[in-house]
Amino acid sequence: MRAMPESLPFLEEAQRGLVRHFGLAEFRPGQAPVINSVLSGNNTVVVMPTGAGKSLCYQLPATMLPGLTLVVSPLIALMKDQVEQLTARGIPATYINSSLSDLERAERMRRVRMREYKLLYVAPERFRSARFLEAVTELGVDLFAVDEAHCISQWGHDFRPDYALLGQVRKRLRPPRTVALTATATPEVREDIVRVLLMKDPRVFTQGFDRPNLFLEVMNVGGDEERREACAQLAARGGSGIVYCSTRKAAESVHAALLTRKVRAVLYHAGMDVEARKRAQDDFMSAKEAVAVATNAFGMGIDKPDIRFVAHANIPKAVEAYYQEIGRAGRDGGPASAVLLFNHADVYTQERLIEGSHPSEAVMADVWNVLQAEGDFERGVHALAARVGSSEFEVSAALKVFEREGLLERGGRGEGEYNLTLTEKASGTHPHADDARRLLKSLLETFPLGRQSTTELPILARRTGLSSEEVRHALGLLEKSGAVVVRKPFVGRTLRALKQGAFRDLELDLSRVREQERRSLLSLKRMTDYAYTQRCRRAFILRYFGELDADTVCGKCDRCAGTMMPRLSRTSSARSAPSTAGTPVLEYSELASTELRRWRKDLARDLGIAPFIIFNDATLLGLSSALPVDREAFLAVKGTGESRWERFGPKVVEICLMARAAGHEPQAVPFTPPKVRKARARRASTSE
């Protein structure tokens, strides 16, 4: 790959465009060489930290090039935000995605053909449409920009199969220049980006990953109460902050706890409706001191410079995800903190999430059988998951596999009609809430008692003068009081199998799913290593991203400078929390762990039982750490026993011998990992 160019022939013209279109006086570090490379017609790979200004690296060239810039972006919300910002600056831009109606998409494509836009944002899934691909090919693309390019790589923390097809899309479009941008890419991921996009001799720009104003810390917590107290202490320091949680339920719990402690906190996760998420984001962005409690759905496009801390209430799934999220703190250059609240039980939660997003063959077969029996399934993923006795997470992942293999299509979205029936109680009900009173009055004036009627949320909002969110809340209150029976609309998309026949006849190759699962578990292992490291945390991250010459002592992490977090008042559960100071670190053979889990999963399926009945996760971890090769060593691991030795011992020893032959050594287990709540037997037998 070529070295970065020394001369910048387009710099003067680019600086004029920077002032004219974006109102900025100067480039941020690293932007000018990238923009010059793009304008020079080079294929370019850009790795810049979060907040370094990657978007400008294709937005500014787009204003200077004569034709269309086609931008691939993974999130609808991010597209919308960027298009709104560009439009506000007078730069003609638009997006085409599944949030638009058919008529809206057709109108925007008409304007694209009329060359009314400089930038067009699309999700990678848009290229499944042969008509769309043909249209933009005929039109011609001057610049093909791939944002969040780490999604291309199966080694990346956020792999998306449709990103892996962009190389063939690029080959069809034949753009004179391509730029791929990401904030988080290890050397492996960078190589994948170049390979998958079929780039020849690209210029690669890698800006330093170090954020010296961020103080890195890991704090051990013994349970949810300590977790909540730590979040409250961080908020008490002042300034804005973000608390990331691994699940919606965890986010709701932390959010409620902060509100009871008088912290100005907003909640954000993908389960909330669009209006509620937008309101939460606007409140967070406009307040001087506010805390956003969110899942990883929050953050893309968030550019608030004065965020003073980012806390992770649960361990992230990969170092890349962690680095990207903590990079949202301290963008103003002021001091900021990145705190990971760590309990090893959270590792098991992430493992279950990873396994759930890579569905077993049994779940795949169950989903396929329901789709075969139903024809068009119109009740949504939630209902489908209930039918097969599995989680929505697993079922959604199974549907994505079928869709990728061309075996499934999703129809148009539901019409959004509510079915309402006013009961006899309605006329005698007197709600306390003003919104509910206004809505009930309108319903009584419009609909007869006892007869089912259909209406839509916007119609009710217009009649009552309430917002859609207020109407939805008022309907809930009236439903609880018994005044109205509500059947909510199906707002998802119809699911339809495109082939008839038994699952076994599909002959699906799930090896790619299993390989991605293995890689995801390995990424989680690396993130766990960060939590347990006894050395400089900053050096750990920098070396992870390929900066091998990083200083071994930074003075700005808890390993080098001591903890910045105060001691928690609750210590009753501290004994159950793993300590990284003065306690041996739990180490285990990743190879043995992977093989033991695979064997347990296969055996559980054959026996028709839940996997934890064979060995629970804690015992499996103990076996992969001790690597027993005889009866005595096997029985020394907590959770085994004589009967398990008779039934399972020989196979466990066989796996442990293989791990030892690969160079793995037995390690002491210094603590018993916290127990994790077991899933229902039916679900566990299909997902483990």
pLDDT in tens, 80-126: 889 999 999 999 999 998 878 888 889 999 999 999 999 999 999 89
390: pLDDT strictly greater than 70: yes
513: pLDDT strictly greater than 90: no
| Contact between 591 and 659 (Cβ < 8 Å) | yes
Cα dihedral across residues 358, 362, 364, 367: positive or negative: negative
Structure tokens at 114: 């009329």
571: pLDDT strictly greater than 50: no
Instruction: Give the model confidence (pLDDT) of 178-227 as tens digits.
Output: 999 998 778 888 899 999 999 988 999 987 778 889 999 999 988 888 99
Which pairs from 395-403 meet CB under 8 Å and 24+ separation?
A: 395/359, 395/363, 395/367, 397/356, 397/357, 397/358, 397/359, 398/359, 398/363, 398/364, 398/367, 399/367, 399/495, 400/161, 401/359, 401/364, 401/508, 401/510, 401/513, 402/364, 402/367, 402/368, 402/371, 402/497
CA distances (Å), origin 308, targets 297, 338, 515: 20, 9, 38
User: Which of 684 and 72 is assigned the larger pLDDT?
Assistant: 72
pLDDT bin (cut points 50, 70, 90) of residue 374 is confident
**Pick from 615, 618, 621, 619: nearest CA to 601:** 615
Q: Which residues of 623-657 are buried (b: 16+ CB within 10 A; e: fewer)?
A: bbbbbbeeeebbeebeebeeebbeebbeebbebbe
616: pLDDT strictly greater than 80: yes
pLDDT bin (cut points 50, 70, 90) of residue 416 is low
**Pick from 275, 274, 309: nearest CA to 293:** 309
681: pLDDT strictly greater than 70: no
DSSP single-letter state for residue 292: E
State the pLDDT at residue 113: 94
70: pLDDT strictly greater than 60: yes
What does pLDDT average to over the chain? 84
**Residue extents of the structural domains in the chain:** 11-206, 214-343+533-570, 351-411+492-519, 417-487, 590-687
pLDDT bin (cut points 50, 70, 90) of residue 582 is very low
pLDDT bin (cut points 50, 70, 90) of residue 613 is confident
154: pLDDT strictly greater than 70: no
The arithmetic mean of pLDDT across residues 385-413, rounded, is 82
490: pLDDT strictly greater than 50: yes
User: Which of 611 and 666 is assigned the larger pLDDT?
Assistant: 611
1: pLDDT strictly greater than 50: no
State the pLDDT at residue 685: 38
pLDDT bin (cut points 50, 70, 90) of residue 489 is low
The arithmetic mean of pLDDT across residues 359-380, rounded, is 87
State the pLDDT at residue 677: 39
367: pLDDT strictly greater than 60: yes
Instruction: Give the model confidence (pLDDT) of 420-470 as tens digits.
Output: 899 988 888 888 888 899 999 999 988 988 888 888 888 888 889 888 778
575: pLDDT strictly greater than 60: no
Instruction: Give the model confidence (pLDDT) of 298-346 as tens digits.
Output: 866 577 889 999 999 999 988 988 988 998 899 888 999 999 999 887 8
Provide the CATH topology of domain 351-411+492-519: Arc Repressor Mutant, subunit A (1.10.10)
Provide the CATH topology of domain 11-206: Rossmann fold (3.40.50)
Provide the CATH topology of domain 214-343+533-570: Rossmann fold (3.40.50)
| Contact between 303 and 217 (Cβ < 8 Å) | no
pLDDT bin (cut points 50, 70, 90) of residue 3 is very low
Instruction: Give the model confidence (pLDDT) of 155-182 as tens digits.
Output: 655 677 788 889 999 999 999 999 999 9
Measured distance between the N- and C-terminal CA atoms of the chain, rounded to whole angstroms: 43
State the pLDDT at residue 412: 57
State the pLDDT at residue 682: 37
CB atoms inside a 10 Å sphere around CB 680: 11
State the pLDDT at residue 666: 64
Architecture of the domain defined by 590-687: Orthogonal Bundle (1.10)
The reply to whether 214-343+533-570 shares the fold of 11-206 is yes
Which pairs from 404-409 meet CB under 8 Å and 24+ separation?
A: 404/161, 404/162, 405/506, 405/508, 406/498, 407/497, 407/498, 407/499, 407/506, 408/371, 408/495, 408/496, 408/497, 408/498, 409/496, 409/498
> What percentage of residues in the chain have a pLDDT greater than 70?
90
State the pLDDT at residue 368: 94
State the pLDDT at residue 676: 38
20: pLDDT strictly greater than 60: yes
